Structure 1
């Protein structure tokens, strides 16, 4: 039975469950682990699974879906175009679909606006294939019946403005880092005004040692207090905050108990929401939680600079 959670209607008319299973476990792919994660998620009520060619586990996701007794139409599947394939969209998508072993995907995203060359180096902005050229090739996939909706990931307001001015199909979604330390209010408002659903990543982060030793929001006293008041966990508070802001959320866990927790949302009061909205204003907490922002060597992957923390 599907979990009792809201779904959001995309601008294409299709419905996306508000909570999905994220499948990124690192460049090794960890296919056996991801396959079991997805099987467990489907068993406890998830109907939204998020993977990518760059997660190296699309085949495992497909096996879990096909092994379930759940009708394919009831499962919302997301995968993504890798940076190195911006110049071969149709072929790259065909490879992803074959690995998944499915007839179609529900949402296909451009993983990053930056294209990469054969050597993995980022292609300078404005050099072909630009993200506009790549997105126009993605638009063609809609006519095949193998892609129900297309969208983007890690796009700023500036990039979305450029994209919308030069293409025909408004992205159905923008998957981007959004959490209490980085609420990205301007980006959220922009996407809402254009009918683009935001999928929030990093809402489950709770290990400060991974993020230069600074505190992160799941250990914040206010988050811990709200969780105690609601008889739930800080992680569930953060995920519930995200859904009540009308963002889809894609937590990940290998732990069966936590997988079930993550799809058990609670209703936060207006005061709770205001408190969560203000977390990022505390000293040291307005920050990205993506590790490559701590490493100057990763700047080329972001177009030669690190992304500003307000999502622009």
Structure 2
């Protein structure tokens, strides 16, 4: 299949990337990160989540961060809101999109949000209805679509089941997420095919972690299927608190470098993106977890 001519990246670094950091990241640093990302040309940014600060203390400053962003025309700002209480707090901050997440693994669902897959979907139903009533778009994420730290390999039928449940409550778009980064191209294609039994190619995105170094290969395999939307995280930030050893999301810099090499348009300035990744990595006192960023930063020193 011909590769897509243009690809949309949803930058999840400020939310998914930072949520598990042990050291507090102040609101002004998160706001500056968002500003740098949009200056680099990213037009879809997942900013924060409206969850209990008891569970995710790093996101307790959600309203402050949303209020502090200088919004740029043409940029969509999304937030995660897993229940009605979260949604009611989120909507006051004027997001463009609400994100909900379910898992293709019963064990992961229990460990992560203390309920079954079916219960989690029912919990999202009023959130989705309220968001759609306010004219917001709703995106869903299907966690552990390829493998689970507790159940092992996940059958594609489970992905299709969660996609169907999400579709039935009104979720407009789903991300197929390899949360623990165990996927390989064929497994990822099977998971995407399962989601495609419910959603069209324009309503699906890939979300890959790089635990086994397969995230770019999985991205390319998805592009070959015609998938043109992906979640990525600047400097490869992130991980999963319920998945031991799971490393960060695929680095935005690496995906942009890959796409550029394939002649696919992103509208993203790679140098500015590398600067944004270096900014947050310097704050966290570590090197960016991106091969492309490391190479370009070394080249600058040269």
Count the aligned residue pairs: 209
The 2-side partners of 1:134 and 1:175 are apart by 20
Deviation at 1:238, TM superposition (A): 5.7
Change (3 A) 1:260 1:185: closer
Q: TM-score normalised to the size of structure 2?
A: 0.54
Larger RCO of the pair (alpha carbons < 8 Å, separation 6+): 2
Matches within 5 A, 1:40-189: 40-50=36-46, 51-53=48-50, 54=56, 56=59, 58-59=62-63, 61-63=65-67, 66-68=69-71, 70-71=72-73, 74-82=74-82, 89-98=83-92, 101-102=93-94, 104-110=95-101, 112=103, 123=114, 125=116, 130-145=119-134, 147-154=136-143, 156=145, 157-158=157-158, 160-161=160-161, 164=164, 167-177=168-178, 181-183=183-185, 184-189=188-193
Unaligned runs of 5+ in 2: 51-55, 146-156, 238-250, 264-302
CA RMSD of aligned residues (A): 4.1
Partner of 1:285: none
CA contact (8 A) 1:41 1:260 kept: no
Change (3 A) 1:60 1:244: farther
CA contact (8 A) 1:240 1:267 kept: no
1:251 aligns with 2:251: no
Deviation at 1:160, TM superposition (A): 4.3
Return the structure number with greater strand share. Answer: 2
CA contact (8 A) 1:18 1:248 kept: yes
Deviation at 1:187, TM superposition (A): 0.9
Change (3 A) 1:79 1:238: farther
Return the index of the structure with the highest Cα Rg. 1
CA contact (8 A) 1:33 1:254 kept: no
The 2-side partners of 1:146 and 1:261 are apart by 34
The 2-side partners of 1:262 and 1:175 are apart by 17
CA contact (8 A) 1:48 1:75 kept: yes
The 2-side partners of 1:162 and 1:263 are apart by 30
The 2-side partners of 1:168 and 1:259 are apart by 31
Deviation at 1:133, TM superposition (A): 1.2
Partner of 2:13: 22
Change (3 A) 1:186 1:175: closer
Unaligned runs of 5+ in 1: 8-16, 83-88, 206-210, 219-234, 270-312
Change (3 A) 1:59 1:241: farther
Partner of 2:290: none
Deviation at 1:188, TM superposition (A): 0.8
Deviation at 1:49, TM superposition (A): 0.8
Change (3 A) 1:177 1:254: closer
The 1-side partners of 2:84 and 2:11 are apart by 26
Deviation at 1:90, TM superposition (A): 2.2
Q: TM-score normalised to the size of structure 1?
A: 0.52
Deviation at 1:148, TM superposition (A): 1.6
CA contact (8 A) 1:6 1:18 kept: no
